[in-house]
Chain A
Amino acid sequence: MAIANYLYLSAILFTIGAVGVVVRRNAIVVFMCIELMLNAANLAFVTFARVNSNLDGQVVAFFTMVVAACEVVVGLAIIVTIYRSRRSVSVDDASLLKQ
């Protein structure tokens, strides 16, 4: 299978994630879309590691996973806190930080 296909898949996944972040209101879904974008990037890293025949990309993928795990912890905590105070996980409701 051509290497390019992996990159196409990565681009499609990233686009789906990005669109999801922009259009969806549910914080959980937005969060999942962010995870999707991260994993799309991971896929691209691993692909390039294969193309260049070294392990740099693989290593970065591991780093990304660690960062994603931390992010999940913090992000979910925020979402839970927001839900507790407003009984809603809609990101549009949490729009007080303006003007």
Chain B
Amino acid sequence: MTTSSNLLWLIALPLFSSAILILSGKRANSWGHVLATIVSASSFTIGVVEFFAMHGRSDANRAVTQKIFTWISVGSLNVDASLMLDQLSICFVLLITGVGTLIHVYSISYMSHDHDRRRFFAYLNFFIASMLLLVLGDSYLNLYVGWEGVGLASYLLIGFWNQKPAYATAAKKAFIANRIGDVGLSIAIMIAFATFGDVSFAGIKEHADEASSTQLTAIGLMLLLAACGKSAQFPLQSWLGDAMAGPTPVSALIHAATMVTAGVYLITRSNFIFDEAPIAQLMVLVVGGITLLFGAVIGMAKDDIKKALAASTMSQIGYMILATGLGPIGYAFAIMHLLTHGFFKASMFLGAGSVMHGMKDEVNMRKFGGIGKFMPFTALTFGLGYLAIIGVPPFSGFYSKDKIIETAFNAGGIKGIALGMATLLGAVITAFYMTRVVILTFFGNERWGHKDEPAESPALMLIPIGLLSIGSIAAGFIFSKGDGLVNWLQPVVNPLKEHHAEEFLPPIIVSLMTLVAVMIGLTVAILKYRGDQVAQAPEKVSVLVSAARRDLFQDEFNEAVFMRPGQSLIKILLNLDYILIDGLVRSVAATSLSAGVRLRTLQTGYVRSYALMMVIGALALVTTIWVVTA
């Protein structure tokens, strides 16, 4: 394998910049955002250079590594802190630094009125560094460090405006849900070490076929739990909606384009485990299928534009997770959808931020309406993202989502039909709720209830959105041209290892079915929302709608199943501690106290009685000696 000394700089630059911004305090207020953006752009430049260098090499020699230092060397456990850049990681590096840089630029303007903007950029840089470490680590342990880092960055940024208690709670909720996944990842690492005596990707890949299927299934399920936590998949999905408490650029970067896709990365990176563990792979499919419908249903009922987009993110990541469960060919399509989703979802989130900017931070879509003519550029770019996500050809979402649906149908048997129908139904619902978002926001009557007309956002915000929109238009076509991305990723995920000889449905039929599905969703939404709307959400709604408004009772479920029993358990343990442990300690104290009280009465203060006692004692001593020796 080739070595490279550039990889460390990718991570070190944003990390140093983050430290500088944190440590230099208010002095950096005037230039902090500039430094952070330049550093992020530098990382992107290094990524591009590395990409072209990699592109120039032959397939077998593309991966590069860099050992930084020997981290752990205990007995048979040897872990180096080393980085590995291969065909899979480079996709992420370019996505993270590319989208990251655009969002840095956007934030300069978006956060310009916030007096804590420097801190915001410090956190953003820290996030970039952690996320790069996550995708560049060459072992599960290195990945874990980045994994925790992005969790922390996510926590800090969701709670960025932590003066509002609800936002602080949302940050905590995200952190706790992520912790559950993190525990899964750490258990997976432990099982992997117990099984293989190694935690590096290369080492485990080499010996994956030697392990028993039980061990592989256990590792796979634990990795899936980790992915569920980080990627907001069922059953750990409830934090994502609340995470929208963070500033909008954060929602775009962390909770749409990059961090929440870390679970997809983890499963794709662990393809050698999932390919050998059919039960774990089936669970991946189930989780992905449930989440893609779950998120889509929630998305239909949300009036908060950011929460609707968050539900959509959840659903789209469900697609990706489902694709990773489809075996070798699915990984490449999952990554393709991940990349296109990174573009169009980030652009839509930034568009939502632009709308909020113009509407004085209003997020309720029922109070929008007709914004299109006041903010034409935002409306146009949002519309491009919209066409991409619902999968209209030739926009990027069409290529990636169509491939996933096609692969799902080709999974074979009843499983294939069920998965295919689920993804197809997801496409219908996606078309419906995204059309709803667009109509409620940009079309129809003006419902904001005040005289001020929304103005278009400044150029610094519009340029990044425009660049991302280009990605939403072209990315899918570029990735799928001549199976480009599939062939590119082939050495990592082996998608060509097994060919499905029989196809359940010819690709053209699947594409047509998808288009019909999209048209159905689109038409229903247009029919339902074409007229004038009112600024109030309807009160009398069906059970389904009210359930979806309340996130399908995910919080109530968590509260009833985990929180309340957890609190009862703690109460029991507390009582046990109070009665048993404390009781033991207290009874020791009480015993010596009462003994002291009784013995105290011997102390009369009369010298003569002490003297008498001494005499008696001396006599007793002498008598004893006499008796014993006699």
Contacts and interface: CB of A to CB of B under 8 A. Distances in A.
B608 A99 contact: no
Nearest to B607: A91
Contacts of B601: 99
A98 B608 CA distance: 13
Given A21-B608, A91-B608, A98 B615 contact: no
A97 B608 contact: no
Interface string A58-96: 000000000000000000000000000000000110111
Interface in B573-630: 600-601, 603-608, 611-612, 615
Contact of A22 (B600, B603, B615): B615
Task: Determine the interface band of chain A, counting residues with CB < 8 A from chain B.
Answer: 10 to 19
Nearest to B615: A18
Contact of B605 (A18, A23, A30, A96): A96
A23 B609 CA distance: 9
B612 A95 contact: no
B605 A97 contact: yes
B611 A22 contact: yes
Given A22-B612, A22-B615, A99 B600 contact: yes
A28 to B, nearest CB: 14
A98 B612 contact: no
Main secondary structure of the interface of B (DSSP, over half): helix
A92 B606 contact: yes
Contacts of A30: 607-608
B606 A95 contact: yes
Interface residues of B, number: 11
A18 B616 CA distance: 11
A16 B606 CA distance: 20
Contact of B603 (A25, A92, A99): A99
Contacts of B603: 97-99
A98 B607 contact: no
Nearest to B618: A18
Contacts of A22: 608, 611-612, 615
A98 B605 contact: yes
Interface centre among A21, A22, A96 (most CB of B within 10 A): A22
Contact of B604 (A21, A91, A94, A95): A95
A36 to B, nearest CB: 14
Contacts of A92: 606, 608
Interface string A19-50: 00111010000100000000000000000000
Most chain B CB atoms below 10 A, which of A18, A94, A96? A18
B611 A98 contact: no
A22 B612 CA distance: 6
B605 A21 contact: no
Contact of A21 (B600, B606, B611): B611
A98 B610 CA distance: 11
B610 to A, nearest CB: 10
Contacts of B605: 95-99
A25 B615 CA distance: 17
A96 B607 CA distance: 10
A18 B603 CA distance: 21
Chain A CB within 10 Å, residue with most, of B601, B603, B607, B615: B607
Contacts of A95: 604-607
A47 to B, nearest CB: 18
A30 B610 CA distance: 13
B620 to A, nearest CB: 14
A70 to B, nearest CB: 20
B594 to A, nearest CB: 15
A88 to B, nearest CB: 14
Contacts of A18: 615
Interface centre among A23, A25, A94, A98 (most CB of B within 10 A): A98
A96 B612 CA distance: 18
A59 B612 CA distance: 30
A30 B605 CA distance: 16
B599 to A, nearest CB: 11
A8 B35 CA distance: 105
Interface string B209-248: 0000000000000000000000000000000000000000
A22 B610 CA distance: 9
A95 B601 CA distance: 14
A98 B615 CA distance: 20
Contacts of A98: 603-606
Nearest to B604: A98
A99 B615 CA distance: 22
B28 to A, nearest CB: 69
Given A96-B605, A99-B605, 12 more contacts: A21-B611, A23-B608, A25-B608, A30-B607, A91-B607, A92-B608, A95-B605, A95-B606, A95-B607, A98-B603, A98-B605, A98-B606
Interface of B: 600-601, 603-608, 611-612, 615
User: Closest 8 interchain pairs by CB?
Assistant: A98-B605, A95-B605, A91-B607, A22-B612, A21-B611, A97-B605, A95-B606, A98-B603
7 contacts: A18-B615, A22-B608, A30-B608, A95-B604, A95-B607, A98-B606, A99-B605
